[in-house]
Chains A and B, each alone.
Chain A
């Protein structure tokens, strides 16, 4: 009886808890509630992922109205996998946030932070589980609105302009998606994703559908910060509270990547998008430019959070690159990187947040000599940094391995080479920071004397993510199997083994 409603719990639980956080009014209680709810969602998502691996697809008719009339909540392996990542990271970030936001957010607004965080989680879970294209837009906006609020909560006034810029670009992107969905509806008369897929396949393409696809891809690209539509991301990640940066970097953009995968593979079909429309070439070029341009930008920054933000844009390039290879192996590599990148960027932003907590600055100068003063934090930073670089035995190596293999399988030697070259740029921007932490003498000043290790509540989630980077670098059976069956599932009808060519 209760079992069938399980599917909708990751959406409903945070939604109910969000207003409760304000009603409680007490920040400690709000933290406890938010963490518990998020943790519960995580447990549920894991059980859903296991069920999806077992049964293939889980479906739930909201309000008892059957699809295609009602809204369908639908989880397959791909969405269950991303859902587990999102709820898991959310829980860790919430544990971490308690200490972290003390210095970064005004005390009176702590309950608001938890509320907004839970709303954001609602939106993200909703995007991942819905089977309805319009519903997806609504959840996207719920999460986005919550995100704008989260970014603006920082006491740094630049967070306000960053949030405003994010709001303007994000709204334009969302409206583009709305237009695209409208055009699909105009042509097909349905909003259910499976129905849409059937009817689009039957129609086989028309000018309306093409325009709709273009609008959707541009809109989603804004949300996932694909170069050159990434301009909102660096300021937003730089100036928002560290807990928010960690959460957004490892979940929000990943969910947007998922949305793109959903639209390309489930609704339109890879054959249509890549073969008829030739989108693979456009995405491929943009992805490669993103990797190189943004890695170079990351090298030139002195604010470590900005470095990580640009690095995120570059890493998103890898995910899109995997997708644009238009093969089952490429899609799988892209999804795997979604998962692995969430682990590494979460840990990195948490480490930087811990530094901000203790030193009050995230400039690269503030990192000098921290290898001695905050050994655990910097060790976590090094592990996650190695993962970004793609050193063997870390999760980053696994994604790189699969990306290059996918590229080589289609004889794209140049692309494979560019992927590896791109990761060399990561060496430079990560080692700049490591070098400052371990090899430079700290600036001697009274304030610097008593810098000590970050509090336990920050260290624990940070280290869970850092160790996860190593675990998933050693034992890939879990992550690879999930990504594999996800890509198999998505590409079931539309992709042959060797790609659409």
Chain B
């Protein structure tokens, strides 16, 4: 599967970052020819995916890959290094980018959006920064591209240029830049001054010589500084960003941006603090319970939202905190569950967002209450929605089952029964806010007599949208039946394993 085997493995990193940029440039050049422009977008996405596949291949073969772009500050380089967790995230992001591009073409044309060139350009820029985040070798590199991701998605969020879009953009930028500058930068410089290094090191960079209080404080700062992980009370940006066109919400706010947040948290937990040391930090439990609370509260808020995208946004907030919980449980199996949840939630949630967009394009409905009986018009979309929802809830035979399974096992292993309870309640809440939609769509609750259904009633979304939906929906199923490649990749991450050790380390 490695068509790039002729290349030096380390060069692949540079390519993954630069290919989307080149693609973006081509998109701008072809601005006058929409069909060619879209071809360029898809081609770029496919090339990127093959590159990431090549990197995956090398990772399984234990080929070290690292590249440095020179140093900004003395002793700190802008450097990239491939490690399994980053590969996992890169795989998810680059694969879903292809699908989203296909979907976006259908959506943007179906919806007759303006400024499509700018849209595809910013999209490419955002993916480029995501790739850089995936492979960053130290905190500074991560931080730089984390900030660039915020800035490159800002034009996407405010794409509609309406008053609401502007307000959403303000909240988006305010919270994300605010937390990253006030807390993340602070935590990073704090780490630099305390530990003397920012490199991601297996096992963590702190040891017994640093003061306990300082490390504890840094953990809190990191958790809140990575605002993209949407830990309450800094979650407001995510619902606010839903003013963006649906493909943006789908890829960026169900996959790339939010996953960049939780990915950063996982990376910090695994490579800066170290899973083994995490249990000894006094604030770990505090942050764990805040994350657990976020899981529950966000689910409750999601139930009150009638706007479908807002409901999905709060659902995302809740699901992101699953990953944070997994990271902070400080057991290797919970961390594995968290990593797996990055993948399973991504495919599940992107399916749901695609459905929301399809409904908007085909029937111009935004609110859940208006969608009663919609199953007659859009049966395929609604079936996909049901499948995605079941995956998010974590029921077999959908992908979400595995990640929840490992998370629960991890919580049991860490003797945190309360977390097990939280995860269970949350699943029930998921049922309560996700499943009513397909149920009402198919089984009209009003009780009126309806004429028998026929194909002539069907008014589905454009074909490209349906293709994208079909791919993500089948991914939800496929990852249930064959999660092994992903789990193999996760087992390569240092200190993380799906093996049950039986006792708390």
Contacts and interface: CB of A to CB of B under 8 A. Distances in A.
Direct chain A–B contact by Cβ atoms under 8 Å? yes
Interface of A: 386, 389-393, 398, 400-401, 404-405, 408-409, 416-417, 420-421, 423-424, 427-428, 431, 435, 438-439, 473-476, 480
A423 B181 contact: yes
A417 B73 contact: no
Contacts of B143: 392
Contacts of A409: 193
A476 B77 CA distance: 12
B178 interface: yes
Interface string B127-165: 000000000000000011001100100010010010001
B262 interface: no
Given A416-B186, A417-B186, A393 B181 contact: no
A431 B144 CA distance: 19
A398 B193 CA distance: 16
B191 to A, nearest CB: 10
A11 to B, nearest CB: 34
A475 B72 CA distance: 6
Interface of B is mostly: helix
A398 B173 CA distance: 21
B169 A439 contact: yes
Given A424-B181, A427-B174, A398 B72 contact: yes
19 contacts: A390-B181, A398-B72, A398-B73, A400-B185, A404-B185, A408-B193, A416-B186, A416-B189, A417-B186, A420-B186, A421-B182, A424-B177, A428-B174, A431-B173, A435-B166, A439-B158, A473-B72, A475-B72, A480-B73
Given A404-B186, A405-B192, A439-B166, A427 B173 contact: yes
Contact of A435 (B70, B170, B182): B170
Interface string B290-310: 000000000000000000000
A404 B189 contact: yes
Contacts of A404: 185-186, 189
Pairs of residues from A and B, 4 with the lowest C-beta to C-beta distance, nearest first: A392-B144, A408-B193, A404-B189, A420-B182
Interface of A is mostly: helix
Contacts, number: 65
B110 interface: no
A476 B186 contact: no
A476 B181 CA distance: 20
B190 interface: yes
B74 interface: yes
Contacts of B158: 439
A41 B483 CA distance: 69
Interface residues of B, number: 28
A417 B182 contact: yes
B186 to A, nearest CB: 6
B74 A480 contact: yes
A476 B178 contact: no
A420 B181 contact: yes
A428 B143 CA distance: 21
B155 to A, nearest CB: 8
B305 to A, nearest CB: 26
A476 B170 CA distance: 31
A391 B152 CA distance: 12
Contact of A392 (B147, B174, B189, B192): B147
Given A404-B186, A421-B182, A428-B174, 16 more contacts: A392-B143, A392-B148, A393-B144, A398-B73, A400-B185, A405-B192, A408-B190, A408-B193, A417-B182, A423-B181, A427-B174, A427-B181, A439-B165, A475-B70, A476-B73, A480-B73
A340 to B, nearest CB: 13
A408 B186 CA distance: 9
B403 to A, nearest CB: 32
A424 B174 CA distance: 8
Contacts of B193: 405, 408-409
Nearest to B221: A417
Contacts of A439: 158, 161, 165-166, 169
Nearest to B163: A439
A427 B72 contact: no
Contacts of B70: 475
Nearest to B185: A420
Contacts of B189: 401, 404-405, 408, 416
B148 A393 contact: yes
Contacts of B147: 391-392
Contacts of A408: 189-190, 193
A424 B182 contact: yes
Given A417-B182, A417-B186, A476 B72 contact: yes
Given A392-B143, A409-B193, A424 B178 contact: yes
Contacts of A400: 185
A438 B72 CA distance: 31
A258 B72 CA distance: 26
B198 to A, nearest CB: 11
Contact of B151 (A391, A438, A480): A391
Interface string B441-473: 000000000000000000000000000000000
A439 B170 CA distance: 11
Name the residue in B72, B74, B158, B173 with the highest tally of chain A Cβ atoms < 10 Å from its Cβ.
B72
Contacts of B72: 398, 473-476
A435 B158 CA distance: 10
A417 B70 CA distance: 29
A229 to B, nearest CB: 29
A87 B192 CA distance: 36
A400 B144 CA distance: 14
Given A391-B147, A392-B147, A427-B173, A401 B73 contact: yes
A427 B74 CA distance: 27
A428 B175 CA distance: 11
B314 to A, nearest CB: 26
Contacts of A474: 72
A311 B164 CA distance: 28
A431 B70 CA distance: 31
A323 to B, nearest CB: 19
Contacts of A421: 182
A474 B78 CA distance: 10
B272 to A, nearest CB: 17
Contacts of A386: 151
B188 to A, nearest CB: 9
A424 B178 CA distance: 6
Contacts of A423: 181
B387 to A, nearest CB: 38
A198 B252 CA distance: 63
Contacts of B165: 439
Contacts of A391: 147, 151
Nearest to A410: B193
A409 B193 CA distance: 7
Contacts of B170: 431, 435
A428 B173 CA distance: 10
Interface in B9-37: none
A197 B72 CA distance: 36
Nearest to B217: A413
Contacts of A428: 174
